[in-house]
Amino acid sequence: MKKFTLILFFLTCLSSSITYSKNELYEKIDLFGEVLENIQKDYVDDVDQSEMMDSAINGVLQSLDPYSAYMSPELFKEMQTDTKGEFGGLGIEIGMESGVVKVISPIDDTPAAKAGIKAGDYIVKIGNEQVQGKTLLEAVKLMRGPVGTSIDLTVRRKNVKKPLEFKIIRKIIEIQSVSSKLIGENENLAYIRLKSFNENSDKQFLKSLKNFEKKSNIIGYVFDLRNNPGGLLTQAINITDFFLEDGEIVSTKGRKISETRKFFARKGDEIKGKPIVVLINNGSASASEIFAGALKDHKRAIILGENSYGKGSVQSIIPLKNGGGIRLTISKYYLPSGKSISEVGVVPDILVEEEGDDFEINSEKDNQLNYAIKLFNS
């Protein structure tokens, strides 16, 4: 690669840095060029220089945070393409941690959830491919495939010594984001499970609320956000606003003025002050954390379960001149208290860890839900 190309590349990546003087910056550029020359001259195998530069670009992005990444023109086009039912997925939201794919959350009633994949699992092998060294988007690409085909995942799980292996059949993932029912011994508690924050979640959620509010015996609500990987910020704001009379819901802060905003509740509580318990776990991320965190900060709900995931950042897809693109973090979420969600997550008011190998959300063996029901009877 020519020297001026290297200079342009690094000036693009590092021009905003205030930690380097110009001389130090050029020294780093020279050092990078020297490393490339030695690889080309002395490395044991032939190296595809184009692939190596793609890896270098991605390395710059992934050094920022687990969610920023580079997409080659081929991968960017594939991500933009409407698959129209030709490709299936597994039903998991994933991120990167220490160079390995980490499961943020398996989505209810999807192949991954039914196979036994859990939030916090580390995917170390996809088919015969080792994950270490691959980008997040490359891992996503490996997991996609024609509907009805199978894929083998090798997983490492906390407190389990041996790796776990799963064979999962790909399906079209269609998520009904809201489900509801009456619970409790006297069926006087309203239970609403929110699986994601998609375009129509607020309308579905509000419809469930209004149906429950028509009943005269409802004494409280349980909102279940476990394994909800998040979704649209606007939906998190709209749904949170159903239960607050006023005050801040969430703020975003970025380097650009346009990315620094505050969002406030409008007057009106759809359930007229009835008590709320919100269930969260390690698979509750992003928009779920905004919802739970805002209700906690306003003391509008009791948060029960396990610490949430800690994804408090907003990504934007930026096209590049070569036909590729980058996914770049442009702002971070902050709760009404001013606390960042990033890496910390939302800490429950009442810590109740999932119990038993046969634990299943929204079942008789769901000890977290059973604990929530007892709170209303105490």
Cα dihedral sign, 215-219-221-222: negative
The question of whether 214 is a catalytic residue gets the answer no
Question: CA-CA distance, 87 to 141, in Å (whole number)?
Answer: 11
The question of whether 297 is a catalytic residue gets the answer yes
105, 311, 331, 366: which one is catalytic? 311
105, 286, 288, 331: which one is catalytic? 286
HEC secondary structure over the chain = CCHHHHHHHHHHHHCCCCCCCHHHHHHHHHHHHHHHHHHHHHCCCCCCHHHHHHHHHHHHHHCCCCCCEEECHHHHHHHHCCCCCCEEECCEEEEEECCEEEEEEECCCCHHHHHCCCCCCEEEEECCEECCCCCHHHHHHHHCEECCCEEEEEEECCCCCCCEEEEEECECCCCCCEEEEEECCCCCEEEEEECCECCCHHHHHHHHHHHHHCCCCCCEEEEECCCCCCECHHHHHHHHHCCCCCCEEEEEEECCHHHCEEEECCCCCCCCCCCEEEEECCCCCCHHHHHHHHHHHCCCCEEEECCCCCCCEEEEEEECCCCCEEEEEEEEEECCCCCECCCCCCCCCEECCCCCCCCCCCCCCCHHHHHHHHHHHC
Contact 105, 228 (CB under 8 A): yes
297, 308, 313, 366: which one is catalytic? 297
The question of whether 311 is a catalytic residue gets the answer yes
Pairing outcome for strands 325-334 and 313-319: antiparallel
Rounded to the nearest 5°, which phi and psi values hold at 147? Answer: -60, 135
Which residues form the catalytic set?
286, 297, 311
